[in-house]
Structure 1
Amino acid sequence: MGSSPQLGSVVPDFTLPGGVLTEDSFERRDYKLAEARGRALVLAFYPGDNTTVCTKQLCAYSSGMETFEALDAEVWGISPQGVDSHESFARAHGLRMPLLADPGRETARAFGVAAPGIGVRRAVFLIDAEGVLRWKHVALLGATFQSLDTLSDQLSGIKNT
């Protein structure tokens, strides 16, 4: 596992393929971190599509999209599965945030969350509108996840600084 970006530092740019479910279509494109500037961004790394805890986590974040929108924040989910798997996962659970594919785990390594055996540690990084890391949580076991309330409290704090 590599080292994670430090709080207060600009997060390294990356580009990953992904897609987002909008009504009945799954719109595929490349997602570039640099293009997200101007809004806060929640990067939610998760071990796998259609696993119990990951499904609960992403469903909670998806059902809270209005909360994130009110805080002028986007949410991106990132895991090692491919875009086809992400489309199936998004359709099965009505997930409304972009799901990005990191099959080689290069981005997970850049964020210090690649892990032998499990692939990717469950982690959340909050990045401000200028691309600076303001808050992070990297789970050791990943049996639980950061709640919508915790993330909205942290985002509110970022917005008010």
Structure 2
Amino acid sequence: MLRIISADKFIASRFILEYSKPEFASLLGVSVAKITNIENGKSAIPPVYDYAINYLLKEHPFTESAVSILSTHETLNFARRVNVNSKVKRLSCKRCDSRHLHVMAGENGLYFVECMNCKHTMYSSGTAVKRYQFWSHHGVHLDNHLFDS
């Protein structure tokens, strides 16, 4: 089990899981202010959040690389550079909400996305699909440009 005991690991895991502050707060059953306090290092991270994050990471489509990158010290540099208030868009199937997708780059910045679960096909040009494709080809790299809106 990965230990999420520092603000930088908490921030990095929220971004890897692709949750905005309000979404993450709702998921954990706390206020957005609580998430902000944790990310600013003003509050300790309760062990139950550590367990919840680890559970969510197990469901991540790139589990091994996500856990690997969260085990490094790279999260500290990432947390310093990233805008924690930026909107994080999560890529998932519009029909079944699965995150097991196959992404292929098309023409003119348009990406073809196929759900490996229900075989639904979609097209997208947003940052979420670019990030998903980058992660699927290179593993999870905590680089702040991947989260720019």
Normalising by structure 2, report the TM-score.
0.25
Higher normalized contact order (CA 8 Å, seq sep 6+, divided by chain length): 1
Structure with higher helix content: 2
Normalising by structure 1, report the TM-score.
0.23
Structure with higher strand content: 1
